[in-house]
Each structure stands twice: as structure tokens, then as C-alpha cells.
Amino acid sequence: MADQMDDRPGTIHDRLVEAMNSGVLATDGSGRITAWNPRAQQLLGYTRDEVLGRPMHRFLHRDADGHVPPERDCRLLHVLRTGVPDHGDGQRFAHRDGRMVMCSWSSAPIHTSDQAGTRPDPGAVAGLVIVFQNAADRVAVERERRDRMAQVQRANSRLRLVAEITTVLSSTLNEEELLRRLVRLVVPALGDWAEIDLLIPDGRVERVAATHHELSPADIAGLEGPLPPLPRTPRGPLAQVLRGGAAVVVSGEADARSDEPLGAAQYEFFQAMGAQNAIIAPLAARGETYGALTLGYSRPGQVYGPDDRLVVEDVARRTGLVLANARLYAEQRNTAEAMQRNLLTPLPQPGELRLEARYVPATQVSWVGGDWYDAFSLPDGGTGLVIGDIVGHDLRAAARMAEVRNMLRALAWDLAGPPSAVLARLDGVMAAVSEAELATAVFARVDENPVGRWRLLWCNAGHPPPLLISHDGGTRFLEEHGVLLGDPDLTGTRPDSTDPLPPSSTLLLYTDGLVEARGSDLSDRLTSLRRHGSHLAQLPLPEFCDKILERMEPAGEDDVALLALRVPG
């Protein structure tokens, strides 16, 4: 028949079709199967005799639910109607044993001709040839490849997150700031919400930071604050972690029946977060637990698996190390600052003169130490003033500062000569009995002449110039200076200078931390000091000192010491 394929055995056409590693079937113009090769039988289980003459669509074609789809939705039959070749993936054919075989396929129309040897008529379709292969293996491989790529992308994303967290945590040693930064980084990357509970040294527990991707900061703020104390015998998961336990994954109902106050408080927090699943990891370092990081999901079905646990534990471990460093830093800083402050003596208030001083430690513990001020009475009734700075920034610099300060006091009391002679003798004594290498200082004496006029006799050993401010706001730096203290190889003199101190004037002595800042021009900073001093000239002396510090905004890269003298009106 003209509308059927020639499937007589022995032809070259038959041998090629039967040798193909793809299933091949053909249909006539009505969609009934007219050809079926051996590979088609292997793929779908039907023999040639079982399928010939059967309607291909109703016999083989199935949808995702195993039902015969409407013919209008069948892309294979669409080729019969249009004569346009097509191909696709995910076609389900019914196997003889009832299961579905997912296949990739291509289909081409069989065209009729008016007579032998004439060209086919594109408008007349006599049947189809469909070539198909089992796509299940290829689909499985492709799905596995996509899954692996997704895993790699997740791993890379989390590595980037851990790197970013490490960078952020190392950018500050302020404990509260770094923990608030942490919870903002891990949500929503590692959960829908997060909290950090810290152990306070006296045994208290405090929720210091929390966040939720849908709650407002005001709602979250109400959930932070003190928690019940850590129990001696921990039963709830949070208490167990804070007592040195390992990370634990819990459900939102983990503490529903807990009679432990801390566990009950944690359960209340879980309810406020809508917790479905959570992980609690210790913030620990060097054998000590400082607190716990809790992350959770509010969405049903989201859980923390082994890979998630490794990431959260890594983040918690890094945070614990930063907390350990921050607390060590705070301890060292407090020690250095306390030592420095204790070495700075109380100021006298000689007669009508008024003295005021300020000391501001550097922001980093390694920069604390070395700056000092001093004021004391002299045997002849004058008042000695000192501002100085030992080269170096550490506890040793603070100790050496105390040595030099005490030596200068003793020499100033013992020697009747001018300030330059006192500093020259200090040079020799430093070389003989002190480990201080270099120092800058201004040593001055203030006295009143018989007619009630005040004067300043002073000598500057490489120190920033004192600022003299008149009551009406006029300013002048006392710029005479000489070589530093402590280096015998330095040559040069240290001249003495004398200046009158007008009534109600202010003399400001300061260390370089007030006027030096990285990236700033020293001349500009000195100009700012003059301007602020002029504007503040008539303030009471304590307020004057406070405002100078406030307006100059020291960079915190060095200690700052101020000594201010107010002359009576």
C-alpha cells in the first residue's frame, strides 16, 4: 500500500533500521504503527507483532500521571497535521510491564508523491518516522551534574560568607559592635533569625544581639537584655552549650516542657521568632566558652544538616577567638590606662593661680603610656609646670615616664638655675640611671613679681609649642625650642625664654596626640588649636579643657595630655 512503509526483510532500509541503537517506529497517516525495530522492542518491551496496526498515541503515549493525554496536546501527532519535523525531551512511553519510560525523540513526516520519481508533495503527509532513546540515564546524569554544581555554588557562597565574616570581625575589638555586625551578616545567609547570648563573669547570661529578617529593630530590641542565670546542672540545650557543650541542632519545641528558667526564656524567644529548626553553637576559644550563637529557620521544612553545622561551628569558633582577643585587649588596656592614670599626680592650686589637666588614653592598648603632665611648688615660691612625652607606647613607656617625671621633680627642687639647666642635668641622669631613650618636654616656672605681674620662664626640649591665650582671645605659640632629651649624639642648645602672663590669660601645654593625626597637615591642626583656644578663652578652666578636647577630636592614635594654667585677673 502506498501509505505504508516497505518493511520487507532483506532490504538495505530494513537492515539499517534494525541495526540502529535507537528505537524506531513508523505510523501511517492515521497514526497507526507500521514499523517497529528491535531496539524499540528492547526499550518498551513490545514485540513487532504486538504493536503493528495499533494507534501509537493511545497505545504508547502517556502524561506525567500515566494517562493518555488529549490528541490536541500531542506533539508527535502535531507533525502529522503540519508536516513540520520536531524533536523533544521528556516524552513518556508506556512499557509493556506498565512502567513509564522517559525518552528523547525526533519525528519527521513521510510525504506521498503523485507518481514514482516525482518530487514529494509537502502538503501530503502519509505517516511519521519517530526515532527515540531512553533519556532516563542522561536526565539522571544531568540532574546529578546540576546538583553538584548547586552544591559547589553553595559551598563557594558560604566560603565567601565566612571570609566576609572574618574580615568584619577582625575590623573591631569593640565587643558589642562586632556581635551586632555578626548577626546582620549571618541572616539571611544562614537562617531567618539569629541571636547571641553572652556569659557575664558573675554568672549572668545576657542576650546582647538579635535579628530577624522580617521583624523591625524595635521589635528585636525588646527581646534583648538580661536572661536567667546559668544553672549549675544544665538541662536545656542553651545551658548545655554555655557549660562547654558542643553545637546542637534543636526543633522549635525543644524546650516546651523545660522547668529550667534559662531554657524557658530560650523557648519564649523561639516562639517570638516562629522557630521551626535551630542550631546553637558555642562561642569558645582557648578552652573558655564566652557565649552561644543561635541560628534558626522560621520556614517549615528548612533544617540544619551536617554541612550547615560545619559552617555555623566555623563561624562560632572564629567569633569566639575574636571575643577572646577583645577581652584580652580590654584587660590590657584597662591595666595600662589605670597604671598611667595612677602615675599622674593631683594638681596643686597655688594661691590665685588655677590649674587644670586632662588625660585621654589612646584607642589601642599598644599605644597607651608615655605622656605626662605635672605641676608642683618650688622652694622659692614659684610653681613648676611640666608637659612631656616618652618615646614609645606600652607599659614600659609608662614606667619610664614615671622615672623621668620623678627625676625632673627632684632636679627642679634641687637646682636653683633656669629651666634649661634643669633639663640639661636631666639629660645626664637619664643616660646614667634610666632606660628611657628619648623624650620631649617643656619645663616652665611661673612666679609673681613684687608689683603683682605674673611671668613664665620656660625651656622646650623638642616638644609641641605651648599656646598662650589672652582673655580677649588673642593667641600666640611660644615657639622657642631646643633638642630632645636622652640622646647624647644630638647637638644644639635649649634656650630659656621669658614671657609675661597677662591678667586672666590661659597657658595651654599639651602633647602631640592633640594635634597630630595620620593624613592631616600639622600646620592646619595647630591653626585649629589656636582658633578654638581663642573662641573658648573666657570659659571657666575645667570647661575650657573639655571643649578643647571635644573640638580638636584627637585621632586616638596616641595618648593626649593637657595642662592648662589660668592667671588671675
Residue 257's pLDDT is what?
Answer: 47
* Pairwise CA distance, residues 139 & 439, whole Å: 78
Q: Which three cell numbers stand for residue 97?
A: 510491564
Q: Which residues pair with 385 in a beta bridge?
A: 375, 444
* Pairwise CA distance, residues 313 & 319, whole Å: 10
Task: Report residue 157: phi and psi, to 5°.
Answer: -60, -40
**C-alpha angle 292-297-299 in degrees, rounded to nearest 5:** 170
Task: Report residue 182: phi and psi, to 5°.
Answer: -60, -50
Q: What share of the chain is helix, strand, coil (3-state, %, to 5)?
A: 35, 25, 35
Do residues 234 and 242 touch, judged by C-beta distance below 8 A?
yes
297-302 CB contacts, 8 Å cutoff, 24+ apart: 297/191, 297/192, 298/192, 298/193, 298/212, 298/214, 298/273, 298/274, 299/192, 300/276, 301/276, 302/192, 302/276, 302/277
* Pairwise CA distance, residues 193 & 183, whole Å: 8
Residue 13's pLDDT is what?
Answer: 53
Do residues 482 and 462 touch, judged by C-beta distance below 8 A?
yes
User: Which amino acid is it at 445?
Assistant: R
Q: Which three cell numbers stand for residue 566?
A: 589660668
Q: Which residues pair with 480 in a beta bridge?
A: none
Helix locations, 418-475, DSSP H: 419-433
How many residues comprise the chain?
569
Stated as kind and residue range, the H or E segment containing 50 is helix 48-51
The strands making up 225-227's β-sheet, listed across from edge to edge, are: 225-227, 205-212, 193-199, 288-297, 277-285, 248-251
Helix locations, 415-503, DSSP H: 419-433
**Preceding peptide of 188 cis, ω within 30°:** yes
Reported as a single tens digit per residue, the pLDDT across 332-375 is 666 655 655 666 678 888 889 999 999 888 776 555 568 889 99
* Pairwise CA distance, residues 470 & 13, whole Å: 116
* Pairwise CA distance, residues 237 & 240, whole Å: 5
Using alpha carbons, select from 353, 328, 357 the residue that is nearest to residue 340. 357
The distance from CA 246 to its chain's CA centroid, rounded to whole angstroms, is 24
What is the full DSSP assignment across 143-171?
HHHHHHHHHHHHHHHHHHHHHHHHHHHTT
**C-alpha angle 178-179-184 in degrees, rounded to nearest 5:** 100
Residue 408's pLDDT is what?
Answer: 94
Reported as a single tens digit per residue, the pLDDT across 204-257 is 899 999 999 988 888 888 899 999 999 888 888 999 999 999 999 998 765 544
Cell numbers 640611671: residue: 433
pTM greater than the 0.95 cutoff = no
Quick one: DSSP state of residue 55? B
Stated as kind and residue range, the H or E segment containing 559 is none
* Pairwise CA distance, residues 444 & 459, whole Å: 6
* Pairwise CA distance, residues 193 & 216, whole Å: 12
Residue 153's pLDDT is what?
Answer: 73
* Pairwise CA distance, residues 540 & 550, whole Å: 15
Residue 218's pLDDT is what?
Answer: 85
Domains of the chain: 12-134 (3.30.450.20), 152-332 (3.30.450.40), 344-566 (3.60.40.10)
Do residues 305 and 277 touch, judged by C-beta distance below 8 A?
no
pLDDT along the chain (569 residues), means of 10: 46 62 91 94 94 93 87 86 89 91 91 55 80 82 80 72 74 78 88 94 88 88 91 89 93 65 90 92 93 94 89 90 80 61 75 92 66 92 94 73 89 91 90 79 93 92 97 96 84 90 97 90 95 96 96 87 95
